[in-house]
C-alpha cells in the first residue's frame, strides 16, 4: 500500500511531451539509488561512493544526456544561484556594459543573472509601476540578491521590496542612504582629464559643462579645479560654458568660447568637454573655424562612448566611465553580502581611466 509509487514511477519517464531525463533515470541506468547519483553529481566530500560506482554513474549521465533541473535544485537546496538586475535597457547605450560586467562576473562564480527591464528614466516619479513589477518578478524567481543600475549617475529611490534581499546600486546611490552603492569617481576622472591637458602644455582651458546640478558635473568640475590648483592655476569662470548634453549643445558652447576670444587673445588652447557627445559638436565648431585638432585646439571628452570617441576624426581622447568594472564590482559586493557579510552603506568609487587617443 505504501508502495503504490513504483507503478507511477514506471509510467512517468515515458510521459508524453516531457523529455527531461531525471536523476531517477540515471540511477536506474546505473543500477544505483538516486541518492548515490545526487552524491556523485554534487561532489560530496564525505560521501562514500566507490570509484567504480562513481564512474558508472557518470557514464550513465553522459549516455542519457542528463541535465540537472535548476528549479528543482533551487527548491530543494533553498538557494537559487541567481541574482537579479533591474535596469533601463532601452535608453542606455551603456547599461549594456554594466550588464556585461555583472554577467561575466556572475558567470565566473557560477551564478546566473536575471535581467529585468525598467522602462522609465526616473525612479522617483509617480509611475514606478514597471519598476516595482520588475523587482517583484525577480523576487518571485527567488533571486538571492538584487542589482539596480541607473543610466546616469544620480540619486534614486528604490522600491522597498528591495529590502527583502541584499541589494546593491550601480551608477547611482540611495537617496535614503541605506543601500550600498557603486559609482564612478567623477572627481578623479575630471582631475586626470585636466592633468592630461596641463601636461600637454595647456594652461588656458575651456570647459563645456553639463547641467551643473548633477553629480557628474559637480564631481568632474571639482576634479578639474583640483588639477588646476595642483599646477597653481585657477578655473576661470568665464571659460566654463554650460551646454545641453548633446552634440548640438556642445557645438553652440564651443562656438561661444571660440568666438568670444580671438586667436591668441585669451582663447583657450584646450577644451574639456564633460561628455563625448558635446565633444562631437565641439569638433564641428573647431573645424568650421579652420582650426586643427589637436594642433590648434586640444579636446578631451568624458564617458568614452565608443561609437563616438573611437570614430571621431581625430579619435577623441577621453575619460572612460568604468561601466563594466562597476557591474563586476556590483556582483562581487552582492556575493559578499549574500555570504553574510554586514552591509556597508558606504559608497564604493571606481576609477575612471584616461583613454589616450589623438585629440590632445
| Cβ contacts of 76 within 8 Å, gap of 6 or more | none
Residue 48 interacts with DNA (CB under 7 A)?
yes
Which stretch, 69-77, 253-261, 282-290, 340-348, contacts DNA (CB under 7 A)? Answer: 69-77
* Chain residues 31-70 in contact with a copy of itself, contact rule CB under 8 A: 67-70
* Chain residues 72-101 in contact with DNA, contact rule CB under 7 A: 72-73, 75-78
Binding residue count for a copy of itself, defined by CB under 8 A:
52
CB of 96 to a copy of itself, least distance (A): 5
Residue 108 interacts with a copy of itself (CB under 8 A)?
no
Pairing mode, if any, of strands 270-273 and 205-209? parallel
Residue 136 interacts with a copy of itself (CB under 8 A)?
yes
| 3-class DSSP assignment, residue 24 | helix
Binding residue count for DNA, defined by CB under 7 A:
33
Residue 93 interacts with a copy of itself (CB under 8 A)?
yes
Handedness of CA 135, 136, 140, 142 (dihedral sign): positive
**Binder to a copy of itself among 49, 117, 122, 343 (CB under 8 A)?**
117
Q: Which one of a copy of itself, DNA, none is in contact with 164 (Cβ closer than 5 to 8 A by kind)?
A: a copy of itself
Which stretch, 35-43, 132-140, 170-178, 263-271, contacts a copy of itself (CB under 8 A)? Answer: 132-140
How far apart are alpha carbons 336 and 182 in whole angstroms? 14
Q: Which one of a copy of itself, DNA, none is in contact with 12 (Cβ closer than 5 to 8 A by kind)?
A: DNA
| 3-class DSSP assignment, residue 232 | coil
Phi/psi class of residue 280: alpha, beta or left (left: φ > 0; alpha: ψ in -120 to 50)? alpha
CB of 103 to a copy of itself, least distance (A): 5
Residue 2 interacts with a copy of itself (CB under 8 A)?
no
- Reading the block at residue 286, the C-alpha cell is 573647431
Which stretch, 56-64, 72-80, 204-212, 347-355, contacts a copy of itself (CB under 8 A)? Answer: 72-80
Angle (nearest 5°) at CA 225 between 154 and 93: 35
Nearer to a copy of itself, 53 or 69 (CB): 69
Residue 23 interacts with DNA (CB under 7 A)?
yes
Helical ranges in the chain per DSSP H? 5-11, 23-30, 34-41, 51-64, 70-77, 95-108, 129-140, 186-199, 215-230, 247-260, 276-288, 306-309, 323-338
Amino acid at each position: 500500500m505504501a508502495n503504490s509509487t513504483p507503478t507511477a514511477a514506471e509510467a512517468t519517464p515515458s510521459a508524453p511531451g516531457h523529455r527531461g531525463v531525471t536523476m531517477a533515470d540515471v540511477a536506474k541506468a546505473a543500477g544505483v539509488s538516486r541518492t548515490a547519483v545526487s552524491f556523485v553529481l554534487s561532489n560530496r566530500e564525505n560521501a562514500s561512493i566507490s570509484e567504480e560506482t562513481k564512474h558508472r554513474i557518470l557514464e550513465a549521465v553522459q549516455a542519457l544526456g542528463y541535465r540537472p533541473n535548476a528549479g528543482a535544485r533551487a527548491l530543494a537546496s533553498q538557494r537559487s544561484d541567481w541574482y537579479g538586475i533591474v535596469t533601463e535597457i532601452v535608453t542606455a547605450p551603456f547599461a549594456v556594459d554594466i550588464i556585461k560586467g555583472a554577467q561575466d562576473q556572475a558567470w565566473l562564480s557560477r551564478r546566473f543573472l536575471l535581467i529585468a527591464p525598467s522602462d522609465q528614466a526616473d525612479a522617483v516619479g509617480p509611475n514606478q509601476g514597471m519598476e516595482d513589477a520588475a523587482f517583484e518578478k525577480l523576487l518571485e524567481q527567488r533571486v538571492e540578491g538584487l542589482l539596480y543600475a541607473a543610466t546616469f549617475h544620480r540619486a534614486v529611490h528604490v522600491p522597498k521590496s528591495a529590502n527583502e534581499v541584499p541589494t546593491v546600486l550601480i551608477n547611482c546611490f540611495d537617496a535614503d542612504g541605506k543601500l550600498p552603492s557603486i559609482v564612478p569617481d567623477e572627481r578623479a576622472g575630471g582631475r586626470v582629464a585636466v592633468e592630461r591637458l596641463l601636461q600637454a602644455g595647456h594652461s588656458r582651458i575651456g570647459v563645456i559643462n553639463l547641467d551643473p546640478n548633477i553629480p557628474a558635473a559637480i564631481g568632474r568640475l571639482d576634479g578639474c579645479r583640483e588639477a588646476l590648483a595642483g599646477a597653481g592655476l585657477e578655473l576661470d569662470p568665464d571659460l566654463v560654458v554650460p551646454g545641453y548634453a548633446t552634440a548640438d549643445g556642445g557645438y553652440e558652447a564651443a562656438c561661444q568660447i571660440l568666438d568670444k576670444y580671438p586667436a591668441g587673445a585669451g582663447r583657450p588652447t584646450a577644451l574639456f568637454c564633460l561628455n563625448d557627445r558635446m565633444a562631437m559638436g565641439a569638433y564641428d565648431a573647431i573645424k568650421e573655424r579652420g582650426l586643427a585638432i589637436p594642433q590648434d585646439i586640444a579636446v578631451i571628452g568624458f564617458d568614452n562612448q565608443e561609437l563616438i570617441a573611437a570614430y571621431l576624426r581625430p579619435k577623441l581622447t577621453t575619460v572612460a566611465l568604468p561601466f563594466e568594472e562597476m557591474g563586476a564590482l556590483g556582483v562581487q559586493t552582492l556575493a559578499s553580502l549574500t555570504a553574510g557579510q554586514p552591509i556597508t552603506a558606504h559608497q564604493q568609487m571606481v576609477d575612471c581611466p584616461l583613454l589616450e587617443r589623438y585629440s590632445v
